[in-house]
Each structure stands twice: as structure tokens, then as C-alpha cells.
Amino acid sequence: MKEYFTIGEVSKLFKVKIATLRYYDEIGLLRPEFIDKKTNYRYYSTQQFERLNSIKYLRALDLPISEIIDFFNYREVDTLIEMLKKQETEVAKKKRELEIIETKISRRLLQIQDAISTPLDKISEVKLPEMRVAYLRQEYVIGDDIEIPITELRNSFGINGEIFLGKIGLSISSSNLMANKFDKYSSVFMVLEEGDQIESSSVVIPEREYLRIRFKGTHMEAAKYYKKLLSYMKEHQYELIDDSIEITLIDYGITNDKEKYVTELLLPYARS
């Protein structure tokens, strides 16, 4: 039976890159049984196979190299148990994070599909559940660079890149809406989703009824659609009860084709 194997043979047997085996040698994690002084070839014995299997197992658990070295230097059952328990906790944490990301992706897909399939330029009466939002009260005039208030919103609430997948929206104050002033926004906000954590407190918009219209374009074309909603509200003797909610469902973050942009306007109302 063959007793010694070259680094290339070990690489093929265990599906470990030669560069990785050399690295393990350099840091003292897995040194070859001996090195031929004439050829400088590394040779491994079958007795080292168990150690390499253990290394592969521990690396598959995503344990840091430093902890694996410590384990082999002070090999004890209790040490391994402690390492595995620690890693179990880390895996559970990552699993929760991935579940949140999966939920966000699924929700985003549904939102995009809904935006694509919903008829445009049609007013509908909808009842929406409560929304948790991060608000930045700041006047924004049409034509200003919207990325500036969005960045300020992100910095003010400590919103990190991982959760910055929520829908970004703008609001026109109810007083400006009633005065037919549609060129000034009173705030920028982000709709927070389950699992989103922010440093500052958020605002909860209660469950309520809205007049909704979706149209092709961005907030630059929103004025005439606000007028349509207000006319509908007056015709049905509804009362505007709060600021508007304006969200671009499909924009430059999703497509380069401006003809596919979709914006949603929501006006909260009460029946007289």
C-alpha cells in the first residue's frame, strides 16, 4: 500500500487546491511529512489524512483558521464542543439574516410584478395596512437632486446598505395639496420592512383608506394626477386627512427605459 503522496495527489484526493495546502504548511496548520531536499517536493503520509479531513470539516463550518490552529495545538473535547457551540450560534444568526433577505427579495419581486400588471391612470379605493417609515422632514422642490435628501435620510437614521431596499417616497403636505401646490414636497421617507433596524425612532402610519393612482413617469409628471385624485375626492365628498404618499415603484434603479417608469400616488381620506 502506498504510504506517501505528493501535494498534487493530495490535492486531487481531497479536492483542496495546491495553493491552500501550501498555505496550511506556511502557517503550521498542516505540514507535509517530509520535503525531498533534491526536488523540494512535499510528501504527505496517510496518517495526515485524518487531520486534513478534520480541517476540511471545520472550514466547512466557517471556523476561522486561527481557531482551527488553536484547536489542534490544544486538542480537547471541551475545546471542540465550545467551538462548535459558538459556530452554531453564528450559523443561526446568518440563517435569520438570510431569511430576512429572502423575504425582502420575494416582496420586491411581488411589488415589481404588481406595478407591471396594475392598470395605469386608473383611480382605485384601497385599504392598506399600517406602514412603519423613517421620515425626514425637509422641503424638496421639483428639479432638486433627490439623491441629496435620500442620503441625508440614510445618514440621519443610520440606515445601512443591507436594509436600503425599502421603497423611497416623497410627501406633499395636506395644506399644499388643498391649495393646489404640487411643486414642493414636505418630506422624504423610506418604508421599513420586517427585520429593518434603524438608529432613530420610526413613524407608524396607521391602517387606513387611500385613493390610489399609478402612472407612467416620475414625480416630475405627478401634478396632473394629484389633480385627478383631488377632483375624485371632491366628487365623492371625501375628506383629505393627511399628507400624500408618492412612491416610484419602477425607476432608474430597475430599468434604463424611462418608458417603463411607474409612480404611485396615495391620498389618505375619510368618508364624510
Mean pLDDT of 64-71: 88
Q: Which residue has the higher pLDDT, 1 or 235?
A: 235
The answer to whether 111 touches 191, Cβ cutoff 8 Å, is no
Query: Is residue 162 predicted with pLDDT exceeding 60?
Result: no
From 114-118, 175-179, 265-269, the region with the lowest mean pLDDT: 114-118
Note the pLDDT of residue 199: 58
For the full predicted model, state whether its pTM sits above 0.75. no
DSSP type of residue 100: H
Note the pLDDT of residue 198: 67
Query: Is residue 159 predicted with pLDDT exceeding 70?
Result: no
The answer to whether 263 touches 170, Cβ cutoff 8 Å, is no
Task: Give the model's confidence band at 49: pLDDT under 50 very low, under 70 low, under 90 confident, else very high.
Answer: very high
| Rounded Cα–Cα distance for residues 150 and 138 (Å) | 10
Q: Which residue has the higher pLDDT, 78 or 244?
A: 244
DSSP type of residue 143: T
Query: Is residue 2 predicted with pLDDT exceeding 80?
Result: no
Strand (E) or helix (H) holding 141: strand 131-141
SS3 of 204, please? strand
Closest CA to 128 of 210, 66, 251, 42: 210
What single-letter amino acid sits at 19?
A
Per-residue b or e along 73-101, where b marks 16 or more CB atoms closer than 10 Å to that residue's CB: eeeeeeeeeebeeebeeeeeeeeeeeebe
Find the length of the chain: 272
Query: Is residue 200 predicted with pLDDT exceeding 70?
Result: no
SS3 of 50, please? helix
Mean pLDDT of 81-86: 83
Query: Is residue 206 predicted with pLDDT exceeding 70?
Result: yes
Note the pLDDT of residue 258: 84
Q: How many helices (H) and strands (E) does the chain have?
A: 8, 12
Task: Give the model's confidence band at 163: pLDDT under 50 very low, under 70 low, under 90 confident, else very high.
Answer: very low
| Rounded Cα–Cα distance for residues 228 and 124 (Å) | 12
Convert the pLDDT of each residue in 93-132 to its tens digit: 888 888 877 887 888 888 888 888 889 999 999 999 998 8
Question: Which residue's entry shows cell 385599504?
Answer: 127
List, as one string, the DSSP characters of 107-132.
HHHHHHHHHHHSPSS--EEEEE--EE
Convert the pLDDT of each residue in 215-263 to its tens digit: 999 888 999 999 999 999 999 999 999 999 999 888 877 788 888 899 9
What single-letter amino acid sits at 129?
P
Query: Is residue 164 predicted with pLDDT exceeding 60?
Result: no
Mean pLDDT of 40-63: 90
Cell of 254: 430597475
Query: Is residue 165 predicted with pLDDT exceeding 70?
Result: no
DSSP H helices in 61-210: 65-73, 77-117, 147-157, 174-178
Phi, psi of 211 (to 5 degrees): -90, 130
Note the pLDDT of residue 115: 84
Note the pLDDT of residue 230: 97
Strand (E) or helix (H) holding 269: strand 262-271
pLDDT more than 90, % of the chain? 41
